[in-house]
Structure 1
Amino acid sequence: MADKEDRMVILTDSISREKISIDPMTRKFYLELSEPSLEDNRADVDRLAAAVEKLLGPVTVPLELMRRIPGVLRDACWRVTVTVGMVAPGVWSLVDVEPGNTVRRHYGLAVDIGTTTVVVYLVDMHNGQILGKAAGYNGQVALGEDILTRIYLAGTPGGLEQLQRAVLDTLNDLIGRLAGEHGLAGREISAVAAGANSTMVHLFLGLDPSRICMAPYIPVVNNPGFIPAGQLGLKINPLAPVYCLPSVGSYVGGDVVAGVLASGLHRQPELALFVDIGTNGEIIMGNRDWLVGCAGAAGPALEGGVAECGMRAEPGAIDSISIDPGTGRVRYTTIGGAPPAGICGSGLVDCLAELLLAGIVDRAGRFRDGRREFVVVPAAESATGRDIVVTQVDINNLMRTKGAVNAALELLLESVGCELSDIDRFYAAGAFGQYLHLESAITIGLYPDLPREKMIRLGNASGEGARLVLLSNRKREEAEAIARNITYFELNANQVFMNKFIGSKFLPHTNLDYYPTVKAKLVERGLVGDGES
């Protein structure tokens, strides 16, 4: 006799609002087995495996579970719940055996491993709901703020192990926090799906990332498949399958594939643009018929510690700025309403946009009066006792960031013979895209000047894509198809990109006609002539 979980629950709270049937990475079955007898003297493991195979097909049994099965079967009077997980497409293995009926206690993790922040969602795999969320800074930050520093460290003696341990410690801390809050044992968590960029996947799995940043930019693996949690050191069921969403190349990773999956743009007939500005500016363009993608260094200028007064998005960070064009008076807000201690990425973008519209900087991003910095908060008002400023160097770095995104987008459009006006949907992904003010991003040219109703914030699309894969094997197959179908443009050695990049460092763009709403504002304020392009 067996009682299996209902896998026809409809998930309706995904970003794309698509309805999917739950078919998770691991499954649980309640079994009532016949006791051994002289007439039925099968081995304990064989008896259990045969019962599972009637429901699912062939299943393998790991040695460590073979050791436990005889005792669990007898202690539970032959009434047990088994958990099985996928170890390869269509291949299942036993993950756990528990006494009694625990079918409804079925938990997994959807994980977004970011360069700066790690987010873990505890998911009820019986109904697809998110039970809890925990987030924290990636422990690797203490070893290197940026990707290149970490790649270099990974090549030093013991460096790779140090970096892997740092991210695993972060994950285990977040997992322990969630398990404690919801009264779970770590062993009850039976599956993990993770979205991460290519370098983060390598460091998470303990793989050498050194060739990612050297021509011809070749990763160790793009689709590592299913890996038992115990091999990685995650403090969950050691046989739980861990699945990292597939990457496309060195700089378009599984986090972007997860985002595309969550957005649903790959199923739509209309042309869509997906942009995730983090450590890299990753861009995917296409529809249900084709997909192209590329990535360029973008995020460092927007991350804490790079700007003179930059900081991460935490309490006290200035996250929005406005400047009165007549008086030059600055208004700002901080995260949590705390006294200002620095400026995070969205505040930097706001500030540059306002400096342009107030006529304080020109279209080349230079201060018109030759000053070297702009005071956002005077020392007397700041939490640090020092002026909080945006410097000319900060602006130059931000100009390079937005120039890289401009150039990458232009290259993609030209490569497929499309115009900006052909884009029907624009998806802004990631935490930065969630909190960035659209008008400011458009004003400086970081985002294209499209009708605002076409622009959609996705939030943590990487985490949502991971949840979809955790809950649906069809979605996992879909994610792998997305990765296979993206035509990847490598920009590091692309002369056309470099030429466009050099010519793109104007606000909002070299060609003002690409940004009609921004041009109208500049004309209205007398900062450019009506006929200027």
Structure 2
Amino acid sequence: MQTILDYGQRNKVELNPLAQRYTVKIKMPGLTDNQGDVDRLRRYLPESLKGVHIPLEVMRELPSVFLEGDWQVSVIVAQAKENPWVIDIEPEVGKGNYYGLALDIGTTTTVLYLVDLASGEVLGNVSSYNGQVKYGDDILTRIYLGSTENGREKLRQAVLETINGQIQQLVSEHNVEQNKIYAMVVAGNTTMIHLFLGLDPANICREPYIPVVNSPGILKAIEVGVAINPLAPLYCLPNVGSYVGGDVIAGLLVSGMHQKPELSLLVDIGTNGEMVLGNNEWLVTCAGAAGPALEGGAAEHGMRAEAGAIYKVSIDPATLQTDYRVIGSVKPRGICGSGLIDCMAQMLVAGIIDRSGRFNDDSGAFVIAGAQETATGQDIVVSQKDIRSLLKTKAAVTAAVEVLMEGVGCSFKELEKFYAAGAFGAYIDPESAITIGLYPDIPRQNIISLGNSSLEGARLALLSREKIDEAETLAKSITYFELNNNREFMKKFTSGLFLPHMDLNRYPSVKKKLQNVSFV
């Protein structure tokens, strides 16, 4: 069982969901009032809905629903801004429950919320591996496969099978009619959204890095293949560029940094690292490959954050004795990303490794858990190779942030808030992240973990038509920095290969920690 982040910072929002329910009382027809059912429905709809599209599927139901409801009905409308349509019509005025889904499609995992659209309450959630993982763990492998029609369809069906399975689980657990799920909002990176919609991702990784679409608009569930009401509106949060997707826009909605005057930085680190810098006057963004190291994928004893993974490590500087915590309260089988970050930070402060990440003896590895303690019967160690891999990942993230900040003439001293999004933001110890140079050295109270902001941002957009408008405006207003051809990136990457950085003065609190540490 994997520990997948299926929660987020819950923001309050004024309810105006993507699918809205209206109560309509209709005058019975007569010999002197023989208007057809469709026209009669339009006549008694609110003024704002006079031009609403009524699909053929709904027309077929009108006569029986009018009679069953004694000419009082509930009309469920998709609140598409320019072309709203009726999703369903029910005889029970305001009594039937109606639901929506918020979905986070990650490269590795998918997480789904079932939401009551009347109250905004999250009724349940389910999380699992993205079915596309069997075709490749990383984005580039999937882009390559998705560049062919056959491969693209395999990937689309794989993620749809995952999502529809999750929907089936939720409706079963909560006794919900699948046809009463009337709206869905999806957040994910640009490639994941392309593959979800069956769009060719080939040009995402080819210069000049142009996706098929940044804002797909409001679609219908039946067009995409999601097993909910076929006429339900399905909205994907917009992308900014090839490597900055709707999951980042979701993070902005949750953090609200675009509405605040202080200079803030939002970082979402997963297989890729995406970051946004700015305030209520301007926003800039960029993205780069972070690699599998932070997901435990590149370490000798690395593993994902699931049962048996060491996720927290401490080392006594005097005795070099280790203490660790394991997911699931079982014997350890390996170590995940947050554990690796803890371990590197602790080894640095204990003088086990120097600032270049090299071991100060000839061991070439550090034992976290002895063979007698583990489920595998082997030592769980962090090796020199593991450290180099993690350093490269850290350096890639920090170099991207530096390029972004220098590109707009800002320094780290001006940074007031740091928002950590995604699973790593929730599980990484901020002190450890600062010690190795992954996070900026700012007052700890200004480091804010958003949890699964991609999922929470999708929930906000599901429950608020205004948040959808806000997301669209944000995506168009952000300036996108392309790192693929940036000459400064490699210079800054090299500086980031030190702990916490080649320039130790950038990390005054870490410099103080290391004052009495001997690296000989």
- TM-score w.r.t. the length of structure 2 is 0.95
Deviation readout 1:323-382 (Å, 9 max, x if unpaired): 222322221100121110111110111111112112222211122224333222222211
Deviation readout 1:20-72 (Å, 9 max, x if unpaired): 42111111112232233221222222222332253534100112222232333
Aligned to 2:497: 505
User: Which sections of structure 1, spanning at least 5 residues, go unmatched?
Assistant: 1-12, 529-533
Aligned to 2:70: 77
User: Which sections of structure 2, spanning at least 5 residues, go unmatched?
Assistant: 1-6
What's the Cα RMSD here? 1.8
Deviation at 1:292, TM superposition (A): 0.7
In the alignment, the residues of structure 1 paired with residue 209 and residue 301 of structure 2 have an alpha-carbon distance, to the nearest angstrom, of: 33
In the alignment, the residues of structure 1 paired with residue 407 and residue 150 of structure 2 have an alpha-carbon distance, to the nearest angstrom, of: 43
Deviation readout 1:176-227 (Å, 9 max, x if unpaired): 2221222110111111111111111011111111111121111111100111
Please say if 1:45 is aligned against 2:44.
Answer: no
In the alignment, the residues of structure 2 paired with residue 64 and residue 138 of structure 1 have an alpha-carbon distance, to the nearest angstrom, of: 33
In the alignment, the residues of structure 1 paired with residue 178 and residue 280 of structure 2 have an alpha-carbon distance, to the nearest angstrom, of: 40
Deviation readout 1:94-134 (Å, 9 max, x if unpaired): 10112222456121111111111211111122122212121
In the alignment, the residues of structure 2 paired with residue 299 and residue 266 of structure 1 have an alpha-carbon distance, to the nearest angstrom, of: 28
In the alignment, the residues of structure 1 paired with residue 103 and residue 64 of structure 2 have an alpha-carbon distance, to the nearest angstrom, of: 34
Within 5 A, what are the aligned runs for 1:199-210?
A: 199-210=191-202
Structure 1 counterpart of 2:194, one-letter code? H
Aligned to 1:490: 482
Deviation at 1:156, TM superposition (A): 4.1
In the alignment, the residues of structure 1 paired with residue 43 and residue 297 of structure 2 have an alpha-carbon distance, to the nearest angstrom, of: 58
Q: Equivalent of 1:318, from 296, 310, 318?
A: 310
Deviation readout 1:287-312 (Å, 9 max, x if unpaired): 00000111111142112433221111
Aligned to 2:162: 170
Deviation readout 1:135-154 (Å, 9 max, x if unpaired): 11111112211111111221
Please say if 1:450 is aligned against 2:447.
Answer: no
Aligned to 1:480: 472
In the alignment, the residues of structure 2 paired with residue 120 and residue 20 of structure 1 have an alpha-carbon distance, to the nearest angstrom, of: 19
Please say if 1:56 is aligned against 2:14.
Answer: no
Structure 1 counterpart of 2:49, one-letter code? L
SS at match of 2:286: strand
Q: Is the 8 A contact 1:449 1:516 kept in 2?
A: yes
SS at match of 1:60: coil
Q: Equivalent of 1:423, from 415, 434, 437?
A: 415
Structure 2 counterpart of 1:437, one-letter code? D
Please say if 1:159 is aligned against 2:168.
Answer: no
Q: Is the 8 A contact 1:29 1:103 kept in 2?
A: no
Deviation at 1:459, TM superposition (A): 0.6
Q: Is the 8 A contact 1:104 1:126 kept in 2?
A: no
Within 5 A, what are the aligned runs for 1:207-246?
A: 207-246=199-238
Please say if 1:91 is aligned against 2:61.
Answer: no
Aligned to 1:7: none
For CA contacts below 8 A with separation 6 or more, give which structure has more relative contact order: 2
Within 5 A, what are the aligned runs for 1:5-404?
A: 15=9, 20-54=13-47, 56-87=49-80, 89-102=81-94, 105-156=97-148, 158-404=150-396
SS at match of 1:120: strand
Number of residue pairs matched by the alignment: 514
Q: Is the 8 A contact 1:16 1:263 kept in 2?
A: no
In the alignment, the residues of structure 2 paired with residue 147 and residue 47 of structure 1 have an alpha-carbon distance, to the nearest angstrom, of: 52
Structure 1 counterpart of 2:35, one-letter code? R
Deviation at 1:494, TM superposition (A): 0.7
Aligned to 2:3: none
Work out the percentage of aligned pairs sharing the same amino acid.
55
- TM-score w.r.t. the length of structure 1 is 0.93
In the alignment, the residues of structure 2 paired with residue 140 and residue 196 of structure 1 have an alpha-carbon distance, to the nearest angstrom, of: 14
In the alignment, the residues of structure 2 paired with residue 153 and residue 304 of structure 1 have an alpha-carbon distance, to the nearest angstrom, of: 24
Structure 1 counterpart of 2:109, one-letter code? T
Structure 2 counterpart of 1:301, one-letter code? A
Deviation readout 1:229-256 (Å, 9 max, x if unpaired): 1111111111111111111001111001
In the alignment, the residues of structure 1 paired with residue 61 and residue 125 of structure 2 have an alpha-carbon distance, to the nearest angstrom, of: 32
Deviation at 1:269, TM superposition (A): 0.8
In the alignment, the residues of structure 1 paired with residue 427 and residue 383 of structure 2 have an alpha-carbon distance, to the nearest angstrom, of: 23
Structure 1 counterpart of 2:51, one-letter code? P
Shift in alpha-carbon separation, 1:167–1:263, aligned structure 2, 3 A = same
Deviation readout 1:65-88 (Å, 9 max, x if unpaired): 22232333334333321111034x
